[in-house]
């Protein structure tokens, strides 16, 4: 049938097909679990004088000392306390890291990666830059540089990627695949891993949270630390219930300049202790382990 001239034609990304919850691979995570849980810590560094970044105050001066120094508190203070907390609770560290951290405060990354169960995940060069605004040559060079520097620093290839600001171009999945990345955290469309189509072969999308994520929930939307931590535990309880029928993934995203603040940290350590105390019910892991297990089970 001919499409009427008046009908709006919707664009489609063509990365994946639609599937409802009942049309998914049925398998178990290690330990015969149905829910995989990871806690991501974002280590970010910003250019002084740049207007990008989460903002405690929208009315700061043009040379934004207020917001820059507030974010830098995370690297100087908050991130260290959070690394101790993850170690004390034996939580595997999913460390999403700008490569500029290697230039500014490599000691902080070393502290986080002392976590023997931890995983290092690429997060662009700096959160002062949105990669979706780069031309394809520059974006490819930036992605390649991140892979080279982080893999050289860690001694092994980096598998996962999260774009600063979840900023993508139409070429990003191909560029990630071509530069050796096997999964992306950019998309928040599902509670299960989803294989993306690229011209270079499959790229796995591992679920990443946009609400159990302290930047959008606390900074622009004004949720308290107490409310955020209750959201985290409510999410866990409901995801456990849903996982009785389906294999699922739950992620949580944190930033040290937000939850490294003492009054928020106090609530977080109680919530994470509660979460860690229920590990018999779920698989507490990292996105890379989730990707590897899913690829093995789904034959990707």
| Tokens 């100087």 sit on residue | 76
Find out whether 75 and 127 touch, Cβ atoms under 8 Å.
no
Q: How many CB atoms within 10 Å of residue 73?
A: 15
Better-predicted residue by pLDDT, 60 or 150: 150
- Range in 57-71, 207-221, 233-247, 259-273 with the lowest mean pLDDT: 57-71
For residues 56-61, average pLDDT: 74
pTM: 0.95
The domains located in the chain, with CATH, are 30-46+60-298 (3.20.20.370)
Q: Among 299, 280, 252, which residue's Cα sits nearest to residue 38?
A: 252
Find out whether 170 and 138 touch, Cβ atoms under 8 Å.
no
pLDDT digits (tens, 9 = 90+) for 216-235: 999 999 999 999 999 999 99
pLDDT digits (tens, 9 = 90+) for 176-199: 999 999 999 999 999 999 999 999
Average pLDDT score over the chain? 94
- pLDDT of 166 > 70? The answer is yes
- Range in 18-27, 110-119, 241-250 with the lowest mean pLDDT: 18-27
């Amino acid at each position: 049938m001919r499409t009427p001239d008046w009908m709006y034609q919707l664009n489609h990304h063509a990365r994946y097909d639609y599937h409802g919850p009942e049309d998914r691979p049925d398998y178990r995570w290690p330990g015969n679990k149905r829910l995989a849980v990871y806690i991501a810590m974002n280590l970010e560094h910003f250019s002084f004088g740049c207007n990008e970044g989460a903002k405690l105050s929208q009315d700061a001066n043009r040379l934004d000392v207020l917001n820059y120094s507030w974010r830098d508190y995370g690297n100087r203070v908050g991130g260290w306390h959070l690394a101790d907390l993850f170690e004390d609770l034996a939580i595997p560290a999913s460390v999403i890291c700008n490569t500029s951290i290697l230039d500014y405060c490599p000691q902080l990354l070393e502290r986080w990666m002392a976590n023997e169960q931890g995983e290092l995940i690429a997060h662009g060069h700096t959160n002062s830059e949105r990669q979706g605004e780069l031309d394809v040559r520059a974006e490819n060079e930036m992605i390649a540089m991140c892979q080279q520097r982080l893999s050289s620093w860690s001694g092994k290839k980096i598998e996962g990627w999260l774009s600063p600001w979840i900023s993508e171009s139409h070429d990003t999945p191909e560029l990630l695949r071509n530069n050796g990345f096997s999964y992306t955290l950019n998309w928040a469309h599902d509670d299960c891993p989803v294989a993306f189509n690229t011209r270079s072969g499959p790229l796995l999308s591992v679920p990443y949270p946009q609400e159990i994520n302290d930047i959008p929930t606390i900074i622009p939307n004004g949720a308290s630390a107490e409310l955020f931590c209750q959201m985290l535990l409510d999410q866990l309880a409901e995801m456990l219930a849903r996982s009785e029928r389906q294999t699922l993934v739950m992620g949580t995203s944190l930033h040290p300049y937000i939850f490294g603040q003492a009054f928020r940290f106090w609530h977080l350590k109680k919530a994470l202790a509660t979460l860690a105390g229920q590990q018999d019910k779920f698989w507490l892991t990292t996105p890379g382990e989730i990707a590897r297990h899913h690829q093995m089970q789904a034959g990707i």
